[in-house]
Amino acid sequence: MAIVYSSLVYLGYILIFPGFLFCFVAGMLITGIDRKIVAKMQKRVGPPILQPMYDFFKLMGKETIIPAAANKTVFLAAPIVGLAAMVVIQLFIPVISTPILYGTADLIVILYLLLIPALAEIYGGSASGSPYAGVGLSREMVTIIACELPLVLIFLSVAKTVGNAMGTGLCFSLSDIAAYQAANGSLMLKASMIPAAIAMLLVIPGETGNHPFDAAEAETEICEGMLAEYSGAPLGIYKLTHAIKTFTLTALFVALFLGGIGTGIVLLDALIEFAICVVLTIIFISLVHAVTARLKIEQLFKYYWTAVSTIALISLVLAWFGM
């Protein structure tokens, strides 16, 4: 009986609160707000804030065409795998205080889980047999590699700072990081962590494939790359995964650098988290989108491996010397 009950509770976690439904609403709203803000910055009226929801439900009702050259199983399974991985990350991220799933190496698990949606897109794209997808997936791989190095450096510097304080060397546990921040104030307030926080904010648009870094999905150039052959429900699921990714990464930023500001009431904390995510999205995704043009893939790579990595490295060095 207890097993049935606890599995039901976990199902609730996965499907409703920090899981699917919450992610769905938060991700869609954040994307909608992003589109609206970009439109306002370009002096347009812009789409309604619920526009991504309309897009999603419309795609659910469309016909799904499978190209003759495609591998049907991989083509249809890839979007679902990507979405599932994206939802699982949300279970690891504490809503201000405690996460649902936790262990000793949450950050490393998250690092791997963050890769899965992008890899699923690569698998799905290559299974579709389209040359546009071929170009797109090669660029997507470069984007992943470009964003991975600064992300690892950021995670390491956070882990080292918290680990120093806890006396455990490196601390990859997000619940410990949250506990440390609740006791000692947000990591954002530590001088040595400010470069890492800035680097993280610069990584977010690249990781989500937003505007200046969207060479992999350049819709005017290579027909949205890996998504070129997708139509109907699978395309909708990819769009949903993208929306959730924006929310997840900003929520991860909140968990890493702005922890310890919670009230203890879960719903209120979720609202606070969502509000901070919206502010971060507006400043670091919408504003950047509105004022920049698309970078070439080698420019993107160079930017992340030199500028952003250097900023992250400063933090890591400071953390290593215990500052």
Task: Summarize as ranges the residues that interact with another protein (CB under 8 A).
Answer: 35, 39, 42-48, 51, 53-58, 60-68, 132, 219-224, 227-232, 235
Which is closer to another protein, CB of 12 or CB of 48?
A: 48
Considering the complex, state which of residue 85 and residue 235 has its C-beta at the smaller distance from another protein.
235
- B/e letters for 184-196, b = 16+ CB within 10 Å, e = fewer, are eebbbebebbbbb
* Shortest Å, Cβ 190 to another protein: 42
Based on CB atoms, which residue is closest to another protein, 3 or 43?
A: 43
CB 254 within 8 A of CB 271: no
In the complex, the smallest distance separating the C-beta of residue 20 from another protein, rounded to whole angstroms, is 15
Shortest spacing between CB 78 and another protein, in angstroms: 16
Q: Are 83 and 240 in contact (CB under 8 A)?
A: yes
Picking from 280, 288, 240, 232, the residue whose alpha carbon sits closest to that of residue 258 is 280
The phi and psi torsions of 224 (rounded to 5 degrees) equal: 60, 25
> Closest approach of Cβ 231 to another protein, in Å?
4
Which residue, 168 or 231, is less far from another protein as judged by CB? 231
The pair of three-digit structure tokens given for residue 197, joined into one six-digit string: 């926080």
**Residue 35 beta carbon to another protein: minimum distance, rounded to whole angstroms:** 8
Q: What would the two tokens of residue 262 be? A: 């919670």
Q: How far apart are CA 173 and CA 177, in angstroms?
A: 6
C-beta closer to another protein: residue 182 or 212: 212
